[in-house]
C-alpha cells in the first residue's frame, strides 16, 4: 500500500498534472475527423509520439494515460512509449474500462463494462509499465437522472475495479463523470455530482479500497453547456469546492479534474480559481484530454512539418495548467505567450 500512496502522490506533485491520451479507437477517430486526418494505426502512433516527446512537458506533466493500443506502440526510434515516458520521469498509466454501455431497464443511462478478465489484463499492463489506471463511468442530469440504480451500479463497478488495481500494485483513478451537457443549473449539477460521489465512497469503503492509494477524476460543477445564464469562474470554483468538501474524504491524496466540453482556457481558469482558494485537504489537479490537446491537434493537421508547432501548443497548455495548480495563472499569460 505504501508504494500505491507514493505513486498517487507523485501523480499530483506540485505544479504538475496528468495528460489523458487514452482516447479509444472511436474517440480518436472523431478527433482526427475534426482535422481531416485518417485514423490509421501509424497516424495515431505519430500523433502520440509528438505529445510524449515534447521537450520540457515533463515539468508540468506527471503521468500520461494510454490506451491499450498505445501502451504497446513505440517511438520512431523503437523506444516503447512506456519507456520513453519513464525516461522523462513521467508515469505511464492505462485506461482499462471497456466503455459505457446502455444500463439494462434504465433508458438513457449507462453502466461501464470491463470487469471480466480484468485481473489478468492488469497483470499484463503492469508488465508493460503501467503504474496507474483509469475507469470512467458516465451519468447524465435530468429531473429523474442520475437514478439511484445508475449511481449504485456504477459505484459498485468502480470499486470492484479499484480493488483489483490495488491488488495488482496499480493506483486506480476512479472517474465518475456527470456529463455537463444540457440546460441544467449549477445547483442541479452539484446535487447530481454529490449523489454520485457519496455512492462511490460508500462502495470504495465497503470493498476495502485504501483511499490513500487512489485518485479521483471528476467533472467540475458547471451550468449546463446549453444553459442560457451560465455561472462564471468564481461561482464554478465555489460550487465545485463546496460539493467536494461535502463528499470526498481527506484521505484521498488528489482530485484530478477532467475537462469535459469546457474550452481549454475555461478548464485552466476554473482549476486556477479553486487552487487560489486553497490550501485544501487534497491536491487539486488536472487529468485533461481535450483541454491539453485541442490546440496541438489543430496545429498538427497530420503534417510532419507541423510537429514543432503542435508541440509548442501542447507545451503551452501544459505550462498554463501547471500554473493553475498553484493559483498563479492569469489569462494575460495566454496573450504573452502568443506574442513570443
Q: Which residues of the shown chain bind ligand 13P in the complex (CB under 6 A)? A: 20, 136, 175, 258-260, 288-291
Sequence-ordered list of residues with C-beta below 8 angstroms from that of 310, at least 6 positions apart, any chain:
50, 296, 297, 299, 300
Question: Cell 447524465 maps to which residue?
Answer: 140
Catalytic pick from 16, 95, 134, 217? 217
Please, what is the angle between helix 264-276 and helix 290-300, to 10°?
150
Residue whose CB is less far from ligand 13P, 92 or 289: 289
Residue whose CB is less far from ligand 13P, 201 or 288: 288
Minimum CB separation of residue 21 from ligand 13P in Å reads 9
Contact in structure between 334 and 319 (CB atoms under 8 Å):
no
Catalytic pick from 175, 177, 203, 319? 175
Exposure letters 219-246 (e unless 16+ CB within 10 A, then b): bbbbbbeebeeebeeeebbbbbbebbee
Which runs of consecutive H residues, i.e. helices, occur in the chain? 2-11, 25-33, 41-52, 68-71, 81-87, 118-127, 148-167, 186-206, 233-247, 264-276, 290-300, 307-324, 332-339
Residue whose CB is less far from ligand 13P, 148 or 288: 288
In whole angstroms, give the CA distance from residue 80 to residue 78.
6
User: What grid cell was written down for 314?
Assistant: 501542447
Minimum CB separation of residue 33 from ligand 13P in Å reads 16
Residue whose CB is less far from ligand 13P, 94 or 303: 94
Minimum CB separation of residue 65 from ligand 13P in Å reads 6
Residue whose CB is less far from ligand 13P, 159 or 292: 292
Residue whose CB is less far from ligand 13P, 258 or 297: 258
In whole angstroms, give the CA distance from residue 326 to residue 271.
9
Residue 217 among the catalytic residues? yes
Please, what is the angle between helix 307-324 and helix 264-276, to 10°?
20
- C-alpha torsion 299→305→311→314, nearest 10: 10
Vertex 275: Cα angle to 274 and 278 (nearest 5): 100
Vertex 149: Cα angle to 147 and 151 (nearest 5): 70
Give the nearest residue (CB) to ligand 13P.
289
Residue whose CB is less far from ligand 13P, 260 or 322: 260
| Catalytic residue list | 175, 217
Amino acid at each position: 500500500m505504501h508504494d500505491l500512496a507514493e505513486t498517487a502522490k507523485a501523480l499530483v506533485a506540485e505544479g504538475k498534472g496528468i495528460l489523458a491520451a487514452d482516447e479509444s479507437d472511436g474517440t480518436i477517430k472523431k478527433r482526427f475527423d475534426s482535422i481531416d486526418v485518417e485514423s490509421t494505426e501509424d497516424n495515431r502512433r505519430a500523433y502520440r509520439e509528438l505529445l510524449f516527446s515534447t521537450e520540457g512537458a515533463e515539468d508540468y506533466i506527471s503521468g500520461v494515460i494510454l490506451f491499450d493500443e498505445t501502451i504497446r506502440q513505440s517511438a520512431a526510434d523503437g523506444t516503447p512509449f512506456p519507456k520513453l515516458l519513464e525516461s522523462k520521469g513521467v508515469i505511464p498509466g492505462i485506461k482499462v474500462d471497456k466503455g459505457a454501455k446502455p444500463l439494462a431497464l434504465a433508458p438513457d443511462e449507462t453502466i461501464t463494462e470491463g470487469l471480466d478478465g480484468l485481473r489478468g489484463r492488469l497483470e499484463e499492463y503492469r508488465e508493460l509499465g503501467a503504474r496507474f489506471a483509469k475507469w470512467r463511468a458516465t451519468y447524465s442530469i435530468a429531473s429523474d437522472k442520475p437514478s439511484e440504480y445508475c449511481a449504485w451500479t456504477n459505484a459498485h463497478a468502480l470499486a470492484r475495479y479499484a480493488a483489483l488495481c490495488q491488488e495488482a500494485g496499480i493506483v486506480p483513478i476512479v472517474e465518475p463523470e456527470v456529463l455537463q451537457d444540457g440546460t441544467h443549473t449549477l445547483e442541479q449539477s452539484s446535487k447530481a455530482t454529490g449523489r454520485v460521489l457519496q455512492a462511490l465512497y460508500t462502495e470504495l469503503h465497503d470493498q476495502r479500497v485504501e483511499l490513500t492509494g487512489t485518485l479521483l477524476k471528476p467533472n467540475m460543477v458547471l451550468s449546463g453547456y446549453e444553459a442560457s445564464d451560465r455561472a462564471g469562474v468564481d461561482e464554478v470554483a465555489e460550487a465545485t469546492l463546496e460539493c467536494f468538501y461535502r463528499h470526498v474524504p481527506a484521505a484521498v491524496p488528489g482530485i484530478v479534474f477532467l475537462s469535459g466540453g469546457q474550452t481549454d482556457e475555461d478548464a485552466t481558469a476554473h482549476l486556477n480559481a479553486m487552487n487560489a482558494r486553497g490550501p485544501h485537504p487534497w491536491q487539486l489537479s488536472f487529468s485533461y484530454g481535450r483541454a491539453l490537446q485541442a490546440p496541438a491537434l489543430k496545429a498538427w493537421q497530420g503534417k510532419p512539418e507541423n510537429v514543432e508547432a503542435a508541440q509548442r501548443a501542447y507545451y503551452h497548455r501544459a505550462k498554463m495548467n501547471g500554473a493553475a495548480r498553484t493559483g498563479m495563472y492569469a489569462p494575460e499569460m495566454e496573450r504573452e505567450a502568443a506574442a513570443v
